[in-house]
Amino acid sequence: MAPPLLRLDTIRLTFGGTPLLDGAALSVSSGDRIALVGRNGSGKSTLLKVAAGLTEQQDGEVFRQPTATLRYLPQEPDMEGFPTVKAYAEAGLGPGDDPHRVTYLLDHLGLTGDESPAALSGGEARRAALARTLGPQPDVLLLDEPTNHLDLAAIEWLEDELLRSSSAIVLISHDRRFLERVSKATVWLDRGLTRRLDRGFAHFEEWRDQVLEEEERDQHKLGRQIVREEHWLRYGVTARRKRNMRRLGELQAMRHELRSHRRAEGTVNLAAADAAESGKLVIEAKAISKQFDGNAVVRDFSIRVNRGNRIGLVGPNGAGKTTLLKMLTGALQPDSGTVRLGVNLEIAALDQKRAFDASETLAHYLTDGRGDTLLVNGEERHVVSWMKEFLFKPEQARTPISELSGGERARLILARVLSRPANLLVLDEPTNDLDMETLDLLQEMVAGFAGTVILVSHDRDFLDRTVTSLIVPEGEGSGGDGRWIEYAGGYTDMLAQRGSRKFMERAASKKTESGEGKPVAPAGPPRQAARKLSYKQKFALETLPGRIEGASASIAILEAKLADPGLYRRDAKAFGELSAALDKERVLLVAMEEEWLELEMLREELEG
């Protein structure tokens, strides 16, 4: 086996209280592609900073191969003092590195290099930092959330670039599809310790669940052993004093182990606050258009959004997703065309900018400064109780927001948005900075939300699991002509309908590498979308039996109530409402059964 390029052993680091890193380890050899995963606040970014030499550990050893080059991509790049993006990116090159590679990277990342760093958006700053980090083609790449703020075209290009790279890679990301495609090994940071799986992220979650189940069994066995030892000490036959003292010492050690064991953190309890049901029609847009500086962002777009629809918007940065979203929700008037909103709409919105006062405390932010309580679903809740639902500790109530990690800030914003009563959720990039477990729960909440959802996201897996239709721009890149079209299904379904694996590839930017004279190598054959079920179809196959069972149970309850011979005489209105509800449930049951049958037949056909 080749010697490691980078090795971290028994790293310990604490900022007071429970250690953040408590014996963490990481070994990186040539050719490694490691996904570093863990809950928000578990110390992933800190461990990467220790590896990069930006944070000093309190204990443990760090070894870096003296001849190996290492580059680190931070979450928030510092570009102060650089006149242009190109100057910033070229500052990352070493003495023997090719400056033409920076030009190539900036070109493929949609930047000219002449931009002023002070005028960059979050997505543009991330692209510039990627060009600086990838430019030297180092021996080791440490990438902290490289896909944050990138659009789908840039994410897919970055996947291919990393797959072609000869660098060893350690990356942190919330994008499941990205991790599954790039990683070959997975390191799980949990409660200060690391565990390694020598398989890619696609196999991680099953392995993690097995590890946690075994841990729970071990703790249960330890508890039972303590009970047996206590019983022996109290009632057992008296043995030699020396033997008794030894067993007493072992019992005390077992008790200490049981008490000091750090259990896995709980899960976030995500549920949107209920509002009165909206009308069947939620939004109706007819031939709406919008221009900025003579450029058409939206042109003659029409859509009808009904209650229960879950609609996703995707497209390159700058294509106009947020503009279209604002017009559909009435926050921005179109230049032409009309938008009609339905009745009884209660909108809860998660804004992409997520602005807040960093000096504000968590409790003040959640309650808008109105004491220590907030109203959720008509029930008064203490702010600490609501914080616990999102895995915040009681002592964090008076903590300034500036001290939170990126993932903790994302959870805090969700806690505020979901406390507001809503029947229309408007989510602009809701997945940014969320850990995998919270993402899972957000997916379940969105998929099961009784109202209507409109969301913007670049997370392909999230889109496949949540939306019922997808709105995408038809022009190439961000310079299209403003035409948008709606596709049924999720991201994979959209690709199948378009007949292409890539989304919105910038044809003009796919040039030969400057100074190298070679075309960009294709990542592989196109995805055979028609040869397997989409994520959305798989999810429906898994969940439909339970939903069918639930509908059947509801029908049985309604039929039992209507079987009361005196009900109509006592309350004709209630009889009518129950009859209408029964008809609705029966129609829903038939539709679900037909959908399940079609999917099952499709599955059998594909497997056959």
Q: Give the contacts of 511 (CB within 8 A, at least 6 positions apart).
A: 107
Residue with tokens 């879950």: 310
Cα–Cα distance between 350 and 515 in angstroms, integer?
44
pLDDT in tens, 58-103: 999 999 999 999 999 998 888 988 999 999 999 999 888 888 999 9
Written as one letter, the residue type at 598 is E
- End-to-end Cα, the chain, rounded Å: 43
Task: Please list, residue by residue across 459-482, b when 16 or more beta carbons sit within 10 angstroms of its beta carbon and e when fewer do.
Answer: bbbbbbbbbebbbbbebbbbebeb
**Which whole-number Å values give the CA distances from 456 to 87, 313, 322, 328, 517, in the listed order?**
33, 5, 8, 13, 38
Q: Give the helix, strand, coil percentages of the chain, each rounded to 5.
A: 45, 20, 35
On the question of a common fold for 281-523 and 535-607, the answer reads no
Pairing state between β 59-64 and 33-37? unpaired
At residue 297, the 3 state secondary structure works out as: strand
| 523-527: long-range pairs with CB below 8 Å, 24+ | 523/159, 523/160, 523/163, 523/164, 526/500, 526/501, 527/495, 527/501
Topology of domain 281-523, per CATH? Rossmann fold (3.40.50)
Cα–Cα distance between 15 and 504 in angstroms, integer?
45
Q: Give the contacts of 358 (CB within 8 A, at least 6 positions apart).
A: 400, 401, 402
Which letter does DSSP use for residue 82 in this model?
-
Cα–Cα distance between 365 and 448 in angstroms, integer?
27
Cα–Cα distance between 85 and 519 in angstroms, integer?
25
Cα–Cα distance between 516 and 521 in angstroms, integer?
13
pLDDT in tens, 430-446: 887 777 777 777 787 78
- Going by C-alpha positions, the residue among 82, 43, 80, 48 that lies closest to residue 62 is 48
Q: Give the bridge partners for 61, in sequence order.
A: 9
Residue with tokens 């099961």: 448
Cα–Cα distance between 365 and 413 in angstroms, integer?
9
What's residue 518's pLDDT? 39
What's residue 519's pLDDT? 38
Cα–Cα distance between 41 and 435 in angstroms, integer?
9
CATH for 6-206, options being 1.10.1060.10, 1.25.40.10, 1.25.50.10, 3.40.50.300: 3.40.50.300
535-607 in CATH: which number?
1.10.287
What is the share, in percent, of the chain residues with pLDDT greater than 90? 29
Write out the two tokens for 74. 């931070």
Residues of the chain short of pLDDT 70, as ranges, are: 1-2, 17, 220, 222, 226-278, 351-355, 377-378, 475-480, 499-532, 535, 608
Neighbours of 350 (CB within 10 A): 20
Pairing state between β 373-376 and 452-456? unpaired
Which letter does DSSP use for residue 394 in this model?
G
Cα–Cα distance between 403 and 419 in angstroms, integer?
23
Which stretches of 29-135 are assigned E, i.e. beta strand?
33-37, 59-64, 70-73
**What does the domain layout of the chain look like in residue ranges?**
6-206, 207-260, 281-523, 535-607
What's residue 215's pLDDT? 79
pLDDT in tens, 347-368: 888 765 556 777 888 888 888 8
Backbone phi, psi, residue 12, to 5° = -125, 135
**How many Cα atoms within 13 Å fall on the side-chain side of residue 229?**
19
Cα–Cα distance between 510 and 354 in angstroms, integer?
34
Pairing state between β 59-64 and 6-13? antiparallel
What's residue 509's pLDDT? 40
Mutual orientation of helices 491-498 and 535-562 as an angle, nearest 10°?
A: 120
Q: Vertex 90, ends 84 and 91: CA angle to 5°?
A: 95
What's residue 252's pLDDT? 64
